[in-house]
Structures are given as structure tokens and as C-alpha cells.
Amino acid sequence: MAVTLGELAVRLGCELQGDPATVVDSVATLANAHPRAISFLANPRYRAQLTDTRAAAVIVDARAAAGCPVAALIAANPYATFARIAQILYPRRAETPGIHPSAVIDPTARIDPSAHIAPLAVIGARASVAARAVVGPHCVVGEDSSIGADTVLVARVTLCAGVKLGERDIMHPGVVLGSDGFGFAADRGAFIKVPQVGAVRIGNDVEIGSNTTIDRGAIEDTVIGDGVKLDNQIQIGHAVRIGAHTAIAGCTGISGSTQIGARCQIGGAVAINGHLTIADDVYISGASSITHSITTPGVYSSCIPAEDMRTWRKLVARFKRLGAVWERLAALERATGVSGHEEQGEEDE
Amino acid sequence: MAVTLGELAVRLGCELQGDPATVVDSVATLANAHPRAISFLANPRYRAQLTDTRAAAVIVDARAAAGCPVAALIAANPYATFARIAQILYPRRAETPGIHPSAVIDPTARIDPSAHIAPLAVIGARASVAARAVVGPHCVVGEDSSIGADTVLVARVTLCAGVKLGERDIMHPGVVLGSDGFGFAADRGAFIKVPQVGAVRIGNDVEIGSNTTIDRGAIEDTVIGDGVKLDNQIQIGHAVRIGAHTAIAGCTGISGSTQIGARCQIGGAVAINGHLTIADDVYISGASSITHSITTPGVYSSCIPAEDMRTWRKLVARFKRLGAVWERLAALERATGVSGHEEQGEEDE
Amino acid sequence: MAVTLGELAVRLGCELQGDPATVVDSVATLANAHPRAISFLANPRYRAQLTDTRAAAVIVDARAAAGCPVAALIAANPYATFARIAQILYPRRAETPGIHPSAVIDPTARIDPSAHIAPLAVIGARASVAARAVVGPHCVVGEDSSIGADTVLVARVTLCAGVKLGERDIMHPGVVLGSDGFGFAADRGAFIKVPQVGAVRIGNDVEIGSNTTIDRGAIEDTVIGDGVKLDNQIQIGHAVRIGAHTAIAGCTGISGSTQIGARCQIGGAVAINGHLTIADDVYISGASSITHSITTPGVYSSCIPAEDMRTWRKLVARFKRLGAVWERLAALERATGVSGHEEQGEEDE
């Protein structure tokens, strides 16, 4: 879609430095922009690229505006303004209302006439699909599930029985919501399945990435708050609760019954144990292991950056011989009469 | 389903402390129980919640029975008894026998008349589906695969060619069994695909979680033993063998040709190298890396719990300078004449 | 398929030690071979098994040929020769050309008459499928996507809009290509979606394992080079670029905008941060964390092998008290007048 800079400035409440009649029709990076593209400068490390950009316009903050060699849209939060402009330039296609003849719909399901049901979708008994919702190709909507207004299941999303989605949610391909949690009682060398009778409830404005899985609760529900953003291949165990506006990057796993606060940001490949409580506003760096509850907002990590293999092998060998360090320190302290700082009982910790 | 405590006590062989005519129809946690719910106390840390519970009855062990303010079912293993009672209260729905008209069934496939084939399932040549098995919506059953009696493919499960399932298995959505293993021969800077000609064989009473993948063997089969329970998003490489009644939590990966013993319990996000042997009765904590075979039953770990970022950065910096500790210790030992404990050759390990 | 050793020797340019009329029809391990099987010896640790093998023939290098008790095919790279022979013995079945009547094909899609479109595939507007390509059951080919000649989508593969596949690619079940990247702009406590307008481009001879996900670019494309091999359950973020002939093992995650070089080999369960550059010919061991760019070819790791839990707990306790080591060393050095090697400012790193 093509739009003038003047219209963008008005719609987004930005100051415009340049010709309001200039038309843009696409977004681009500063380095690879072409003359009908709009770009943005949010990260100062890309400032050098501003000088040479061939974009029609750049979204910048007030400090960077003076150095902008082309038209500038001046915004307090250039990246957020860029996101809004990209939404204008690349509007989500409105799917045509109606049910594809190849879809298999239970007669007791309720489908809003404005909803779009794509080829080969399967919708179970008593399920409901609200206004303007999209159920993409190959989706399975289990019985008693409900999909709120304007929610999009892109393709091949599976909702098991009784999953409740909010409004304006986006579910990417391969997402599975409401499969049984991992609940077994050990009994004389074998496992007895514990029926998983809780549901899954998803708030509004939630986006869930490809092949992410969220189990139903064992007894109580698994609950994802409003505005939560989950990346691809995340695993959420039974009865987990995630607070509003928390974002989690790919490949992270959260074990059952853990509660994550609001506005948290959790990196990729993080492993979080079960039955923990993570406070609001906690940041966890990628590849960390969380084995205890976190009660204080802040940044947490247990990620160890890689080294070249020769260096790394020495580090691991020394790490595994740390006991000898304590022994040698103690021997030196005894021999020299210097008093050490060692607390009691370190060997038994 | 509603049932009296008296009937539950008889069916499960429990002692009942309370009115046998009391009816329960659901399960609940101690904290959130309502007057027709049955709850349980298995973990002593929840004992305080017993005092205030409003459940109709609680499943407890003999020691906790005296403190139970409502009816008590007394069991040696309260959690296992809870699992069995939940199975009574929430029976798995019997699917109606027959083949949905939208399913695509190869004429050479053999489907037991009591099996249920859901909408849009695809069943290939010479595949077989045994009595009372359920093939859910959007499942693909590859040619020459077989599904044992009472096994359930919930939805969107893919069996590639020649996959053998046992009886009473449960496969959750997104499971892929029998895809090609990761086998390539390096040859002059490129890779040649090694055909993966082994199969996948799954025992009886196996449950496999959403989006878990199990590759077919390169030459010999990949084999999952009876009673194995696999959580979501687990990756099992080609020709892995897993012994009976082993349980593995989500996001764990096992590389090719590794053999896992019986009755192991492996946490989530564990990485296990290929060509290893893990003994029976091995427990591995979550987020650990297994790079060597384990021959002795026991508990193993390499998980490092996270710290706040400032503390963590100092720890990593010190870890990476461990070499200086050895140097300083040696200098002190030389200067003071205290003999160190350092073995030979530490730098070359 | 059955073939004589003589024919294999001619087709593969190997020296044959044994009877050229001997027929083989399958592959096997040295230990479990039967008299019509061909095996191979590539890893010296299996040399002891050569003596007792009952295979019809073994593929060996020149050094091992003398010790081979049965017929030998002598090759410079026995494993690569084995791969080629297995391809001859187990040819990929040619699918019959044509479109299954249950597939749903947009009228504007272009399907080569020699292509095979399996049951219940969905092919969107303006998509194209080239000669001899296979679109397996339950695949979704999004609008404007293209599939090159001889490429195989095994089953249940999802291509979102505008995904370009190369020739001779193999995509295993559950693969998702071109889902939206994880792009959000934080704005006053909530997130604004950044439209993901880049595409996904896959080279020739690429193989991608089950349930692996590759996001489309935010602005510029996500690009996978020729000959790349990706195992199962890998997550590739938006605008990642992977160089030709790189191989990556299962469960590894690569965050957005990272560039991986050519001919790299990356182990399983590796976590790679975003916006990094990894040089050509870099090897990364499994379960490592990559937080910085790597500019030099070589082998890198941050994997810590597990220990039994009692030993491990002591190691972690000592690791977390490393600060005390520095303090005690400094105290000893002060008391004895031995000068330490400590650099400035270690506490602030």
C-alpha cells in the first residue's frame, strides 16, 4: 500500500521534516533501502548507516533528526512508530467470510457468519468461532473450544477440547494448545496416568509462535495473560500461569504449576523448573536454568559463553578440581597463620 | 461422573474414614475444592492446606488421616490412588466405531470395525489399525504402519512408513514418528544422504507428548520400551533404545544410537550425546548435559542455577580466570615451602 | 533391490576383493549382518566386529581390507561409499504424477504435470510446484510459494506465504517455513506487532528435519544456503542466514539476524544469540551457548558434562563461592609478600 509522509505524520502524530507529498510503499533497512521505502533508526549502532541511506524517509528520534539526509518522521519511540507504519503499509489481508466446503464442521458448532473457515479445517462439537476470526487450513478446533473475535489461527493449529482463546490472538502453524499435561503417579515400578482435567485459557492480544505447545491443567487451568508474546517451540507445562505482557523467546521450557509474573522478558532456551513463582518485571537471559523462585524484579542469568575448545577443556578440568583449591588454600593458611574466610561445612552443601 | 465414597473405598481397597454415602463428582486441589470434590495430600508441603479444605473427601496416607477435617480415603500411595479415582470420575470418552467419510484410506489398509477413524485422516497402503484404536483428525498413518488395540492418536499425529505402535498407547498432537534420522556422509565438502532404513517400534502403554519427534533407525530400529512416558517436544535420534518404564520430561534431546535403561527418570531440557549407554535406574536432573555413558544407577546433574546478573557476571569472569588461581597457589606454595596437591599435567587435560 | 558386488564396484569405482557375482540386497551393521547384507567399517572402534561379521561384503578402506573375512569393497571414504550403495539398494520410491482428488488447489496455482500432490494437501494462490516434486499428505503450500524440481515435502509440511524452496530439497513432517518472526516494539508496557515482510529462501539439496521452524524475515529474507542439513526441532529466527553445506543437529536455536558461515557443524541443543556473525568452518559442540560472534574457524564449546549429584552440588557450591578464593589468595599474598597476578578491576567485570 502506498501512502504519503504527510498522511503518516498526521495519523501517527509525528513531526515531519521533509516533503509531505513524498510517497512510500514499503519498509527497508537503512543499508538496503530504495527510494520508495521508509526505514528507521532505533539502535544507535546503526547511526553510521543513516548518512548513506537511500530511503525516502527515516523514522528517528529528535536527537537524530538533524543528521538525517532524507525526510525524517520524528517520534519519541521510533521503533514503535515504525511498527505502526509497517502495519499501515502491509495491512493484514481480510479473509473472505464463510466456510470452505472441504472443512468438516460439527453441526453443534457455532460459527459467526463473518468468520473465515479455511480448507480442511475440522471444528468439533459445541465449539464456537466469533466474528471475523480466521481458522486457517488444516486447523483442528476441539469440542467445547472457543475462539474470540478477530483471532487468527494461521494454519495447522490444534486446539484440544475446551481451549478458550481471546480476541485478536494470533496462533502460528503447529501450535498445540490443551494437550494432556505430563502427569503420572509412580506405582510399583510403572506409571498410572493422572487424567488432566483442567483447561487452557488464553487472554486477548496473545501471539504464539510455530510449534509451541501449551498443556492443559492437571486440575486447575493453564492461563496465559493478555498481551503475552510467545516465540516458536516453547513448551508450557500444565497449570502454568503467565502474567500479562510477558514475552518469551524460542525453545524455552516451563515446567508444570510455575507462575510467571507480568511484564517479564525471558530469553530463548531457558529451562524453568516446576512449582516456582517468578515475580513481575523479571528478565532472564537466554540459556539460563531457573531452579528457584525469583521474588525480586531484576535480570538473572546462568549462561556461560563458549570458548575455543582447548581453552574450554582447561576451564572444565579446573572447575572439576576446585576442591583442590580449597585444600591448598587451607594448607597455606595453616602454614602461614593467615586466617581464611571459609565458612563451616562447605563440603556438605 | 458421580460416585459414592463407599464405592471408591471398595473399588480401590482403601479404608474410609467418613460417610460412605457421600457423593463426589470431580477432583480439586485442597485449596480450591468445593463440596462435591475429592482432593489428595501427597506432598507434605501442602499439609497446612488440609486443615481448611472444603473438599468432600481427601485421599491421605495413614499418618495424615487423623488431621483430616473431612472424610478421608486412606491409601498407602495417595497420589496413585488419586490417579485411579480421577480415571473413574473422568472416563475417557469411547469414540464411535467407524470411518469418517472425509478420511482417505488406502484400499489395502486393514481397519478393525471397532476402530474410530476421524475426519481427514490419511491411512496408507498395507497399514493396519487394531480393535478400538482411535486415529484422530488430520493424522497420517504411513504405509506398512500398524496401530495396536486401544491405542489413541489424539489428532494430527504423523507416522511415517513402517512404524509399529503397541497397545494402549497415547500419541498427542504434532507427534512425528519414523521420519528420517540425521545421517549424512561428508564427502569433499558436501553431504551425501545415508538412507534411513530402520523402523520405529513402540511398546505397549507408551504415552508421547505434543510435537515430540522420534526418528527411524539408520540401519537398525529405534525402539521405545513398554510403559515409557515422553513429555512434549522431545527429540529422539535414530536407533536410540529406551528401556521400559522410563520417563523423560519436555524439551530433552537424545542423539542417535544412545541406549537408555529401564526405569530412568530424565528431566527437561537435558542434552544427551549419541552412542552412549545409560544404565537402568538413572535419574538426570533438568538442563544437564550427558557426554559420557553412565554405568551406575544414581542421580546426575550439570545444571547451574541462575543468579542475578551482577553476581553472575562476576562468577563467570572468575571462572574464566581460574588458571590464575592455580598459578598464584603454586607461587605461594613455592615461596612458603608448603607442598601443593596438584597432580601432573593439569594444563594439558 | 538386489545387486552384485561386481556391479557395485564398477558403479562406485571401488576395488573388489571377493566374488563379483555375490548378490547383496540390504545393509546391516557388522554385528547383525546376514549373508545377503553389505556392511561398512568407518569408525576404528568397530574394527573388532569385522572379524566375526556374517555380512556378504564389507566396505572398508585399504588398511582394513587385509583383515576382512568376507568380500571387501575398498574405498577411500567407506562411509560415503556406503551411503551411495544404500541409495542404490533402497531407491526412493517414485511417486505417481498427478493430483489426488481430495487435495485443495487454488485455480491460480501452477502444478507441473509430473509432480505428485498427495491427499488433503492445500496449495494456495499463485503457488508453483516444479517437475517431479512431491507434496505429501496434509501439506499446506501458502500463496506465492514455489517448490523446485525433485523437492519432496514428506507430509504435513507448512509453507506460509512466499516461501521459495530449491531443487532436490527434503522437508520432513511438521516443518514450518515462513511463519512470522518474533518482532514486537515495546510501547508503554505493551507490545506492538512489527509486520514480518521478509520471505524465506531455501537453496538446493537442503534437508530439514521434523518439526523444525524457520521464520520469515522481518524486513530482509531468511536465507538457507545450498546443501544445508538441519536436524529435527531446530528453531531459526527471522533474517538468519546460513551458509552452504552447514549441518546443525537437533534442538538448536538461532536467534534473529545471526549469520552462520559455510561448512559449519553445530551440535544439538546449542543456543545462539541474535545479531552475531559466525565464520565459515566453525564447529560448535552440543549444549553450548554462543553469545558473541566467532571470527576464527575452530571448535568451540561451553558444555559442562554432568557428575553424580553429590559431586555436582559441591562443585556448584564452590563455583558460587569463587570470590572467597580471590580474597584468601590476596590475604595470603599480602601476608607472605608474594605478589599475585591479579589484574585490576576484576570485581567490576
Same domain flag for A70 and A133: no
pLDDT tens profile C171-180: 999 999 999 9
Confidence band of B349 (pLDDT split at 50, 70, 90) = very low
Share of chain B above pLDDT 90, in %: 93
pLDDT tens profile C82-139: 999 999 999 988 899 999 999 999 999 999 999 999 999 999 999 999 999 999 999 9
Q: Is the pLDDT of residue B329 over 90?
A: yes
Question: CB of C159 within 8 A of CB of C214?
Answer: no
Q: What total number of domains does chain B contain? A: 2
Which stretch of DSSP H or E encloses residue B157?
none
CB of C341 less than 8 A from some CB of B: yes
| Chain A interface test: which of B285, B322, B327, B343 (most A C-beta within 10 Å) | B322
Same domain flag for A164 and A129: yes
Q: Which amino acid is at B98?
A: G
Same domain flag for C82 and C131: no
Same domain flag for A269 and A204: yes
Q: Is the pLDDT of residue B66 over 70?
A: yes
B318 occurs within a structural domain: yes
Q: Supply the pLDDT for residue B342.
A: 59
B254 occurs within a structural domain: no
B289 occurs within a structural domain: no
Name the domain boundary from B89, B116, B147. Answer: B89
Same domain flag for A320 and A297: no
Q: Supply the pLDDT for residue B45.
A: 84
Same domain flag for C198 and C298: yes
B175 occurs within a structural domain: no
Q: Which range among A72-86, B298-312, C35-49 shows the weakest confidence by mean pLDDT? A: C35-49
Residues sharing a CB contact under 8 Å with residue C45, sequence separation 6 or more, in sequence order: none
Paired sense of beta strands B307-308 and A298-301, if any? antiparallel
Same domain flag for A201 and A288: yes
Mean per-residue pLDDT of chain C: 95
Q: How far is B117 from A104, CA to CA, in rounded Å?
A: 14
Q: How far is B184 from A347, CA to CA, in rounded Å?
A: 47
Share of chain C above pLDDT 90, in %: 93
Q: Is the pLDDT of residue B345 over 60?
A: no
A245/C273 touch (CB, cutoff 8 Å), yes or no: no
Interface predicted TM-score of the whole assembly (ipTM), two decimals: 0.96
Chain B nearest CA to C120, separation (Å): 7
Question: Domain residues for B10?
Answer: 3-89
Question: CB of A209 within 8 A of CB of A171?
Answer: no
Same domain flag for A100 and A84: no
Classify residue C259 as exposed, middle or buried by CB count within 10 Å of its CB (0-12, 13-18, 19+): middle
Same domain flag for A121 and A229: no
Per-block average pLDDT, block size 10, for chain A (349 residues)?
96 97 97 96 90 96 95 97 97 93 98 98 98 98 98 98 98 98 94 97 98 97 98 98 98 98 98 98 98 98 98 96 94 91 48
Q: Supply the pLDDT for residue B339.
A: 83
C322/B327 touch (CB, cutoff 8 Å), yes or no: no
pLDDT tens profile C178-229: 999 999 999 998 999 999 999 999 999 999 999 999 999 999 999 999 999 9
Q: How far is A96 from A274, CA to CA, in rounded Å?
A: 43
C213/A229 touch (CB, cutoff 8 Å), yes or no: no
C348 occurs within a structural domain: no
CATH of the domain at C230: 2.160.10.10
pLDDT tens profile B76-108: 999 999 999 999 999 988 899 999 999 999 999
C80 occurs within a structural domain: yes
Residues sharing a CB contact under 8 Å with residue A272, sequence separation 6 or more, in sequence order: A252, A253, A254, A255, A258, A260, A266, A278, A290
Using CA of residue A8, residue A10, residue A16, residue A21, what is the dihedral sign? positive
B22 occurs within a structural domain: yes
Chain centroid to CA C195: how far? 29
CATH of the domain at C55: 3.40.1390.10
3-state secondary structure of A36: coil
Q: Supply the pLDDT for residue A349.
A: 37
What is the model's pTM?
0.96
Q: Supply the pLDDT for residue C43.
A: 87
Question: CB of C228 within 8 A of CB of C262?
Answer: no
Nearest to B44 by CA among B28, B30, B24: B30
CB of A160 less than 8 A from some CB of B: yes
Q: What is the mean pLDDT of residues B192-221?
A: 98
Instruction: Identify any residues that bridge with B207 across adjacent strands, giving them in sequence order.
Output: B170, B229
Using CA of residue C4, residue C7, residue C12, residue C18, what is the dihedral sign? positive
Q: Supply the pLDDT for residue A342.
A: 59
Nearest to C329 by CA among B115, B328, A266, A74: B328
Q: Supply the pLDDT for residue C311.
A: 97
A318/B316 touch (CB, cutoff 8 Å), yes or no: no
Name the domain boundary from B45, B74, B89. Answer: B89
Question: CB of B338 within 8 A of CB of B332?
Answer: yes
Same domain flag for C228 and C251: yes
Q: Which of C34, C100, C238, C245 is catalytic?
A: C238
Same domain flag for A141 and A186: no
Name the domain boundary from B64, B89, B114. Answer: B89
Look up B100 and say whether it is catalytic: no
Confidence band of C272 (pLDDT split at 50, 70, 90) = very high
Confidence band of C343 (pLDDT split at 50, 70, 90) = low
Question: CB of A224 within 8 A of CB of A239?
Answer: no
Share of chain B above pLDDT 70, in %: 97
Same domain flag for A144 and A207: no
